[in-house]
Amino acid sequence: MVKKHAPPRSAPTLSDVAQEAGVSTATVSRCLNSPERVVESTRQRVMAAVERLEYTPNFAARAMVAKRSYTIGAIIPTMENAIFARGLQAFQDALSDQGYTLLVSSSAYRPELEAAQIRTLVARGADGLLLIGHDRDEGIYDYLAQHRVPALVAWSYAPDARSPSVGFDNRSAMAELAQHVLDLGHRRIAMISGFAAGNDRARSRVLGARDAFIANGLDPEALRVVETSYDFEKGARAFEEIVTQQPDVTAVICGNDVLAAGALQEARRLGIAIPEQISVTGFDDIELAAVVSPALTTVHVPHREMGRQAAHALIAMVAAASQQAALPDVSQCISTKVVSRASLSPPPG
């Protein structure tokens, strides 16, 4: 059996298929996009040709004429730990259900990198963007507005912010957790926080902890806060610093589970019993929180739910934008709850 043609030197195009099926390119296009508009017999002929050539439409060409890429961009601070993984996975799942593709990049918590990545994603034709937290240059929001690319903020709910958001109230969530700590009788408390600059989630969590102090008639400045990066090892170092400089502390509130896990490990190294001597709490309730020993009392964030809701919200925004319609109000506050595990107990004595 002889091949009719030499194998194609590059991917088959619409007109290759048209030729193979003996129809026009328009008909092939219709078969693919609105099959009901073409009669059964020709459709079969066309589809057979599509199969035979293993034709796949060229995305760039399609995006150019449709002025939509069905691509959503997401920029997360880090892929290195699980903080964003689960939520992002749910986000992606919901997106692909709707025929969208997700483009992810990570900024390593560096604002200037995030700005560059936003431009890249917009240039790549992203129909919409998912961003983490509200803190960024006003100019970025201007840029997005000018380019008519809707952006949704997740992991942080703030109804009055420049961008709509699907997230949770970091401040009140942490306040609730801190209240638990205070209820148990702790008074000498320290906090290991992520860097507050450029990170509204970290800032809100500190504020929330102080809120609880105030609500209990305590001086909010009595809460000593050590700032560091969200890194396991950094959590360990911060814990060491705290117990060295403030040996009478009975509870250490951590900005997230990763920091708390680091604190736990350092405590073990120093021979400090958790929670007997010092209680430790986390935030996020990632898998790690249940695995470490003792398991972490933490704030449970329904990441999957948040990711799913964020996807629906962003798609709604994109749909509105593509019709030049006003952006719908999609903001949503996802509720969190405190999960009590072994790392938190009443203070000694």
Among 24, 96, 245, 335, binds DNA (CB under 7 A): 24
The site partner of 232 among a second copy, DNA, none (C-beta below 5 to 8 Å per kind) is a second copy
Select the binding partner of residue 27 from DNA, a second copy, none (C-beta < 5 to 8 A, by kind). DNA
**Three-state helix/strand/coil letters over the chain:** CCCCCCCCCCCCCHHHHHHHHCCCHHHHHHHHHCHHHCCHHHHHHHHHHHHHHCCCCCHHHHHHHHCCCCEEEEEECCCCCCCCHHHHHHHHHHHHHCCCEEEEEECCCCHHHHHHHHHHHHHCCCCEEEEECCCCCHHHHHHHHHCCCCEEEECCCCCCCCCCEEECCHHHHHHHHHHHHHHCCCCCEEEEEECCCCCHHHHHHHHHHHHHHHHCCCCHHHCEEEEECCCHHHHHHHHHHHHHHCCCCCEEEECCHHHHHHHHHHHHHHCCCCCCCCEEECCECCHHHHHCCCCCEEEECCHHHHHHHHHHHHHHHHHHHHCCCCCCCCCEECCCEEECCCCCCCCCC
Binding-site partner at residue 96 among DNA, a second copy, none, CB < 5 to 8 Å by type: a second copy
Residue with tokens 């209240």: 179
Verify binding: residue 146, a second copy, rule CB under 8 A: yes
The item of a second copy, DNA, none sharing an interface with residue 248, based on CB under 5 to 8 Å by kind, is none
* Cα gap 252→243, rounded to integer Å: 9
37 binds DNA (CB under 7 A): yes
Q: Out of 13, 42, 80, 241, name the contact with a second copy by CB under 8 A.
A: 80
Question: What residue 13 binds from DNA, a second copy, none (CB within 5 to 8 A, per partner kind)?
Answer: DNA
Figure out which of the listed residues 57, 111, 198, 346 binds a second copy, where binding follows CB under 8 A. 57
| Shortest Å distance, C-beta 74 to a second copy | 10
Specify the residue, 11 or 48, whose C-beta has the smaller distance to a second copy.
11
- Binding pattern to a second copy, positions 164-183, x when CB under 8 A? --------------------
Locate 254 and state its tokens.
Answer: 């951590």
Q: How far is CA 230 from CA 190, 208, 306, in A?
A: 17, 18, 21
Q: Which residues, numbered 47-106, are part of the site for DNA (CB under 7 A)?
A: 55, 57-58, 61-62, 64-67
Kindly state whether residue 44 participates in binding DNA, applying the rule CB under 7 A: no
Q: Compare residues 260 and 315 and give the one whose CB is closer to a second copy.
A: 260
143 lies in the site for a second copy, by CB under 8 A: yes
Residues 249-288: x where in contact with a second copy by CB under 8 A, - otherwise, as a string: ------------xx-xx--x------------------xx
Applying CB under 8 A, the span of 1-9, 201-209, 214-222, 244-252 interacting with a second copy comes to: 1-9
Residues that bind a second copy (CB under 8 A): 7-11, 54, 56-61, 63-64, 67, 69, 71, 78-82, 85-86, 88-89, 92, 96, 101-106, 119-120, 122-125, 143, 146-148, 232, 261-262, 264-265, 268, 287-288, 290-293, 324
